[in-house]
Amino acid sequence: MTHSITAMPTYESHKDSEISWIDEIPANWKIKKVKFINDIYNGDSLNENFKKKFESQNLEELPYISSKDINVDYSTIEYENGLRIPRGLSQYKVAPTSSSLICIEGGSAGRKIAYTEKNVCFVNKLACFKPKHDLFPKFGFYLLKSQPFQLQFQLSMSGLIGGVPISRLNNFSVYLPTLGVQKAIADFLDKKATLIDKAIKVKEKQIALLKEYKQIIIQNAVTKGLNPNAPMKDSGVEWIGQIPEHWKVKRLKFIGKATIGLTYEPNNLCDKGSGNLVLRASNLKDGKFVYGDKLNVYVNIKVSNELIVKKDDILICSRNGSRHLIGKCAIANKNDEGFTFGAFTTLFRSKINLYLVQIFNSEVFCFLSGLFLTSTINQLTIGNLNSISVPLPPYMEQKKIREHLETKSKRIDKTINFHQIQINKLKEYKASLIDSAVTGKIKAI
């Protein structure tokens, strides 16, 4: 699948690009400003009453695209998501078929890029690159993904939320071969990208199946135990079903203590080294604590001892704008001790957290925590958390189940990690292939 790019054919002769940060280019290629080969414009923000105003009109509609409708991995548009705009409303700008959209503001700026397969309206945080007569449309799409364009984009970012204005985009420089060569490169990359994307999707499906298998193993172990011949009884709890006769069912409030996190104001924020690190939902990923400059927040206020994380504490996301994130959690190790935690998280402390975390990190717990959410707020209160019932075997059996699940999980996680590494390599190869083809480092045939 991934043949060495350095082994691919190259152009016979090259010339100096005369731009310091651009390498040599094939002899018959040109360097052009983006504005000479594209019409570039951003979209429109919709009036809040827009949908209500037009929902009763029986008009042909156009999709209204925002950055969330663009898949960053595959550069595809989910056309069926979100709003639709009646065709013919001239005040709303349209990105025509065979143009390119790129996010120019916010966290996805420069990363979310897509090729339009139909006419669409779009938000003002996206920019449309409508190709002129001397630019093959799909080649123009690949230009936006190339390293020279991306480098110029990153160097041009400004503002608090990060963005690049149209005026700067217009003056970016790109490589441009003849139309025939542009088409050949675009066709070559379409074919290669399709094969790579198919391979990535196979790997992603394998990961999804492994995660599903892992959840089945966890659920069976924490509700049925490890002995398939153990006498069973009704737990009295619908989600649990039958459990071994010698097990008990307890509410979390009788097992440990739940504590809501620290409340702080914007003026309490400070730089690293000047205050306490506040663990938040963004610091919880795949059952572990994660850290980074973009994830960490520090506050310069006094924190009580009960709001300091200790080893084996479980931190749970208990309030979030995204409903599916409620219930995600992680168990603290020695490296996570001493930090505080924010008000949108809840800390659970008990003597059997090493066992409970197996339940807390299962889809069962996510389901249970989700039962308490309302349509108005995504929140798992302490009262609702304490009301959750869990099955409990005797301590020594807990230990055996925990060790069994840790062993199984490590094996599955190792396989998942292997597939993820392969996905990352495929993505890197795809990006390198696109860059090499549209900058003339290889000859597309």
Three-class SS of the chain: CCCCHHHCCCCCCEECCCCCCCCCEECCCEEEEHHHCEEEEECCCCCCCHHHHHCCCCCCEEEEECHHHEECCCCEECCCCCCEEECCCCCCCEECCCCEEEECECCCCCCCEEECCCCEEECCCEEEEEECCCCCHHHHHHHHHCHHHHHHHHHHCECCCCECCHHHHCCCEEEECCHHHHHHHHHHHHHHHHHHHHHHHHHHHHHHHHHHHHHHHHHHHHHHCCCCCCCEEECCCCCCCEEECCCEEEEHHHCEEEEECECCCHHHEECCCCCEEEECHHHEECCEECCCCCCCEEECCCCCHHHCCCCCCEEEECECCCHHHCCCEEECCHHHCCCEEECCEEEEEECCHHHHHHHHCCHHHHHHHHCCCCCCCCECCHHHHHHCEEEECCHHHHHHHHHHHHHHHHHHHHHHHHHHHHHHHHHHHHHHHHHHHHCCCCCCC
In sequence order, the 6+-apart residues with CB closer than 8 A to the CB of 38 are 129, 130, 131, 132, 135, 140
- Domain membership flag for residue 342: yes
Are residues 171 and 66 located together in one domain of the fold?
yes
**How many domains in the chain?**
2
Whole-number Å distance between alpha carbons of 259 and 268: 21
- Residue bearing tokens 């025939």: 180
Whole-number Å distance between alpha carbons of 371 and 387: 11
- Domain membership flag for residue 25: no
What is the per-residue pLDDT for 50? 53
**Dihedral pair phi/psi, residue 176, rounded to 5°:** -145, 110
Q: Of 176, 201, 232, which closes a domain?
A: 176
- Residue bearing tokens 């409508």: 130
Strand partners for 431? none
- Domain membership flag for residue 422: no
Are residues 265 and 347 located together in one domain of the fold?
yes
Whole-number Å distance between alpha carbons of 417 and 395: 32
Parallel, antiparallel or unpaired: strands 100-103 and 126-131 = antiparallel
- Domain membership flag for residue 206: no
Are residues 37 and 144 located together in one domain of the fold?
yes
Whole-number Å distance between alpha carbons of 289 and 345: 13
- Domain membership flag for residue 117: yes
Are residues 167 and 51 located together in one domain of the fold?
yes
Task: Determine the Cα angle at 280 with ends 277 and 282, to 5°.
Answer: 115
Boundaries of domain holding 154: 30-176
Whole-number Å distance between alpha carbons of 356 and 390: 9
- Domain membership flag for residue 406: no
Q: Of 159, 176, 193, which closes a domain?
A: 176
HSE (side-chain half, CA atoms, 13 Å) at 136: 17
- Domain membership flag for residue 223: no
Are residues 152 and 276 located together in one domain of the fold?
no
Label residue 88 left, alpha or beta by phi (over 0 means left) and psi (-120 to 50 means alpha).
left
- List Cα–Cα distances, 318 to 229, 259, 322, 358, in angstroms: 38, 11, 11, 18
What is the per-residue pLDDT for 56? 47
Query: The domain spanning residue 281 has which CATH number?
Result: 3.90.220.20
pLDDT per residue of the chain (445 residues) written in tens, 0 to 9: 556 787 888 888 988 877 777 778 899 999 999 999 999 999 988 764 455 455 545 456 788 899 999 999 999 998 776 567 766 555 678 999 999 999 999 989 999 999 999 999 899 999 999 999 999 999 999 999 999 999 999 999 987 778 999 999 999 999 899 999 999 999 999 999 999 999 999 999 999 999 999 999 999 999 999 999 999 999 988 878 899 999 999 999 999 999 999 999 999 999 988 899 999 999 998 888 999 988 999 999 999 999 999 999 999 998 877 777 888 899 999 999 999 999 999 999 999 999 999 998 877 676 666 665 555 567 888 998 999 999 999 999 999 999 999 999 999 999 999 999 999 999 999 999 999 999 999 998 6
Are residues 162 and 272 located together in one domain of the fold?
no
- Domain membership flag for residue 8: no
CB 5 within 8 A of CB 435: no
Q: Of 176, 195, 229, which closes a domain?
A: 176
Are residues 169 and 303 located together in one domain of the fold?
no
Are residues 266 and 349 located together in one domain of the fold?
yes
